[in-house]
Structures are given as structure tokens and as C-alpha cells.
């Protein structure tokens, strides 16, 4: 019998409703009888006197040790949640590793025994169904955009190997980072919702990543039926990288406060003209292509931001407003850039930025301010950082 369960039995016996007043009458408990042999007491018939101070009145000629000495328990104040006004028996020494049954729970400083936290299908289902509007709304938006703008259903299923970051690729890897980033943001969006809504939020990052990968796989499969795209295994691997980063960021203690994966987008004249294309991500205006931020890869940079505010030594200093950046961008691959004579270039960059979120929303907020604080984890405000070229 696990030690914590034994302590619970003794406590329950001491509080039995038919117990005579403490210190005036003796009584016999089945709990002590059933456990006496296990405890090595040598007999099962006890008369309990003052349980509060641990003394035991013998029934025969021999004088047994005090009950607390026989079972190795010390007297300490009970936690309020147990509902006992006097004292309680707690373990004087923790049980040796492997001595208790595997999977048994422990009682720590007044907290109730924890249930099994293993992640499984039932936990996934509970968490996924706790955010129906987030999942359903995202799926509906993706489906509408796919059939309206990405020509889903325009071709028999086909594969398309797009490559990675080479100069011979269509946009030198910017779309691959876009896939990783999109999956990452979706996973974070779902995990945040689960943490607010589900009764089992401890493994929210797993369910968020699975849901995000499910939707992005859905996108890729239907891209296979598009004459403009095709199924790309490179896209799917980039999606996986984004989902795994979300899990790692939420699972490693302190990492969420220290590192963000962000998109820096600098609008141009083309951006504002692209608003007339909505909901299409791009269109032609006056013989020139205009693109929304979704497809305007030549205006994007993807970066990791290391936030000094996440480190204890900097939290009370002005350095908490400083970030260190590292990222990637590519230029010169669009027709518009070719017409302007811009050369092809791929760049890894580093830089220093301003932590706008820490500046504006240093404390926990809700409502619009909370939404702003959330968004600034994923978007870098233009002109708030200095980057190498």
C-alpha cells in the first residue's frame, strides 16, 4: 500500500463519525487492524488514546511503541483542504524510488493528488473541441481562399518539386519561410485558445501543432489539384518546422519569454493598391502586378528576436527594451524588380531592435491592448530595428 494512502487511512480513522471523544475512550479501527501486519506491529488489536500526541494505549501486557514510531510518521499541521483542525501524520522520509506502485500519485504541500497527465486521443479531443470557432473559422477562411484564389480543382492531382533557397527557385525560399511562419502562428493561435478554454490545457502546444499541421496539410493536398501550384513536399516540411518550433517554444521553460519568430513587412505603393484586389492576394492594375502582404515576398523579412526582457538580469534595466535579431530575406526575383534592374540577392542579416511590446504593454493586458501585445509577438513593426544588409 503506498505510504500516502496509508496516511490517508489513518487520518480517516481518526475522524470517524462514531469515534468517542479523543482522550476519554478507546476504540478499535479496522484500518489499523488491516495495516498492522504490514507495519510490523506484531498485533492487530490496538486501543487508540490521544491520537493528537501519538501515544497508544496497549490492550495486553506488552507495551508497544507509540504508533507514530511504528510507522515512521511525524506530526505536522494539516493542510486546510483536509478539513482537520488538529495535526496530521505525514511521511518522515520519502519512499525509496520504485517502492511505491508505478503511476501512484503523491500529495505535495496540501495539493490534491494529480491525475495522469499523459497526452492521448481523449486529451486531444477535449482540447480541440474547446476551440470550435477558432478551428472552424480558420478552416472556412482557408477553404474560401483556396477555391477563390488558388485555383483548387483546376487540375488533376500532381506533385511539384519547388526546391528550397536556391537562386533558380521562384522566390529563393521566401515562400518556404512563409509556410513555416504561417503554421507556427496557427499553432500558437490554437494553443492560446486551448489554454483559455480547455480544462486540460497543460499539453495545449501539442494539440495546437497537430491542428495547424492538419490544416496546412489540407492546403497542400488541395494545392495538388491546382494548375498553379501542385503538391510540394518542401512546403510540407517547412510547415512541420514551424509547428515543431511552436511546441519547443512553449515546452522549454523560459523560451517563450526570450524568443519570437516574426514577420517584418514594409508596405509599398503596391501594397495599398492591392487593397482593391481583396479578397484576391494579387491582381493587375494598369498593366502592373500589385500584391497584398501575403504574396508580396519582396517586401518581407523573417527573423528571430532574442528579447533581453526575458532574462532576469535585464528585467529591471533599460536593456529590457532591446532585442537582438537574426533572419533572412531575398530580393530581385519578381518581374517588377527585374524591370527595375535589381539584382538577385539572398541575405542572412543580424540587427538590433526595439521591443515595442515591452515598451507599450509591459504588464498583462486584456481587450484591444491584449490583442496588440499578442500580435507583437509575431509581427515586427517597420522602422523599429536596424539590420545589416
Strands 379-380 and 259-265: parallel
What confidence tens digit (pLDDT) does each residue in 165-182 have? 988 898 899 999 999 999
Mean of all residue pLDDT scores within the chain: 77
What confidence tens digit (pLDDT) does each residue in 288-341 have? 777 778 888 888 999 999 999 999 999 999 999 999 999 999 998 887 788 778
pLDDT value of residue 234 = 95
Confidence of residue 63 (pLDDT cuts 50, 70, 90): low
Q: Say if residues 354 and 322 touch (Cβ distance below 8 Å).
A: yes
Q: Say if residues 174 and 303 touch (Cβ distance below 8 Å).
A: no
Mean pLDDT of all residues in 5-23: 40
Mean pLDDT of all residues in 125-133: 95
pLDDT value of residue 168 = 87
- Shortest CA distance to 249 belongs to which of 237, 259, 263? 259
Count other C-beta atoms under 10 Å from residue 13's C-beta.
18
pLDDT value of residue 215 = 97
Q: Quick check: 232 pLDDT over 50?
A: yes
By CB atoms closer than 10 A (0-12, 13-18, 19+), residue 278 is exposed
Higher pLDDT, 337 or 112: 337
Mean pLDDT of all residues in 113-126: 77
Confidence of residue 66 (pLDDT cuts 50, 70, 90): low
| Weakest mean pLDDT among 3-12, 153-162, 296-305, 332-341 | 3-12
Helix-helix angle 3-14:30-39, to 10 degrees? 150
Residue 214 CA to residue 128 CA, distance in Å, equals 12
pLDDT value of residue 116 = 56
Residue 317 CA to residue 308 CA, distance in Å, equals 10
* Three-state secondary structure string covering the chain: CCHHHHHHHHHHHHCCCCCCCCCCCCCCCHHHHHHHHHHCCCCCCCEECCCCCCCEECCCCCCCCCHHHHCCEEEEECCHHHCCCCEEEEECCCCCCCCCCCCCCCCCCCCCCCCCCCCCHHHHHHHHCCCHHHHHHHHHHHHHHHHHHCCCCCCCCCECCCCCCCCCCCCCCHHHHHHHHHHHHHHHHHHHHHHHHCCCCCCHHHHHHHHHHHHHHHHHHHHCCCCCCCECHHHHHHHHHHHHHHHHHHHCCCHHHHEEEEEEECCCHHHHHHHHHCCCCEEEECCEEEECCCCCHHHEEEEEEEEHHHCHHHCCCHHHHEEEEEEEEEECCCHHHHHCCCCCEEEEEEEEEECHHHHHCCCCCCHHHHHHHHHCCCEECCCCEEECC
Domain boundaries, the chain: 3-91, 121-251, 255-389
Q: Quick check: 204 pLDDT over 60?
A: yes
Confidence of residue 71 (pLDDT cuts 50, 70, 90): very low
Q: Say if residues 71 and 46 touch (Cβ distance below 8 Å).
A: no
pLDDT value of residue 22 = 42
Strands 56-57 and 288-291: unpaired
Which residues lie below 8 Å from residue 317, measured CB to CB, with a gap of 6+? Answer: none
Amino acid at each position: 500500500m503506498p505510504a500516502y494512502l496509508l496516511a490517508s487511512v489513518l487520518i480517516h480513522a481518526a475522524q470517524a463519525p462514531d469515534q468517542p471523544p479523543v482522550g476519554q475512550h478507546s476504540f478499535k479501527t479496522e484500518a489499523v487492524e488491516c495495516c498492522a501486519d504490514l507495519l510490523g506491529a506484531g498485533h492487530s488489536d490496538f486501543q487508540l488514546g490521544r491520537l493528537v500526541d501519538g501515544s497508544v494505549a496497549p490492550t495486553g501486557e506488552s507495551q508497544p511503541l507509540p504508533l507514530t514510531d511504528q510507522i515512521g510518521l511525524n506530526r505536522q499541521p494539516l493542510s486546510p483542504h483536509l478539513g482537520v483542525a488538529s495535526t496530521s501524520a505525514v511521511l518522515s522520509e520519502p519512499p525509496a524510488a520504485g517502492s511505491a506502485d508505478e503511476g501512484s500519485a503523491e500529495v505535495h504541500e496540501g495539493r490534491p493528488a494529480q491525475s495522469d497527465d499523459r497526452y492521448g486521443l481523449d486529451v486531444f479531443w477535449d482540447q480541440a473541441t474547446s476551440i470550435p470557432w477558432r478551428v472552424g473559422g480558420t478552416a472556412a477562411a482557408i477553404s474560401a481562399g483556396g477555391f477563390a484564389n488558388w485555383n483548387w480543382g483546376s487540375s488533376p492531382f500532381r506533385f511539384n518539386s519547388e526546391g528550397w533557397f536556391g537562386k533558380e527557385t521562384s522566390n529563393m525560399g521566401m515562400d518556404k519561410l512563409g509556410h513555416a511562419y504561417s503554421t507556427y502562428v496557427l499553432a500558437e493561435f490554437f494553443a492560446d485558445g486551448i489554454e483559455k478554454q480547455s480544462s486540460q490545457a497543460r499539453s495545449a502546444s501539442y494539440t495546437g501543432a497537430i491542428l495547424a499541421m492538419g490544416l496546412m496539410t489540407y492546403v497542400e493536398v488541395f494545392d495538388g489539384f491546382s494548375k498553379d501550384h501542385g503538391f510540394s513536399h518542401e512546403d510540407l516540411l517547412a510547415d512541420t518546422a514551424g509547428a515543431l518550433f511552436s511546441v519547443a517554444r512553449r515546452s522549454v521553460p523560459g523560451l517563450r519569454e526570450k524568443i519570437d519568430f516574426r514577420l517584418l513587412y514594409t508596405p509599398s505603393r503596391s501594397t495599398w493598391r492591392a487593397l482593391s484586389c481583396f479578397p484576391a492576394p494579387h491582381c493587375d492594375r494598369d498593366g502592373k502586378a500589385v500584391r497584398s502582404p501575403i504574396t508580396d515576398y519582396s517586401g518581407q523579412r523573417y527573423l528571430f528576436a532574442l528579447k533581453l526582457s526575458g532574462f532576469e538580469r535585464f528585467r529591471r534595466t533599460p536593456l529590457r527594451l532591446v532585442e537582438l535579431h537574426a533572419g533572412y530575406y531575398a530580393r530581385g526575383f519578381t518581374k517588377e524588380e527585374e524591370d527595375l534592374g535589381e539584382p538577385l540577392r539572398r541575405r542572412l542579416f543580424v540587427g538590433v531592435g526595439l521591443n515595442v511590446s515591452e515598451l507599450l504593454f509591459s504588464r498583462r493586458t486584456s481587450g484591444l491592448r491584449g490583442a496588440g501585445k499578442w500580435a507583437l509577438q509575431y509581427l515586427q513593426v517597420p522602422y523599429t530595428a536596424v539590420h545589416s544588409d
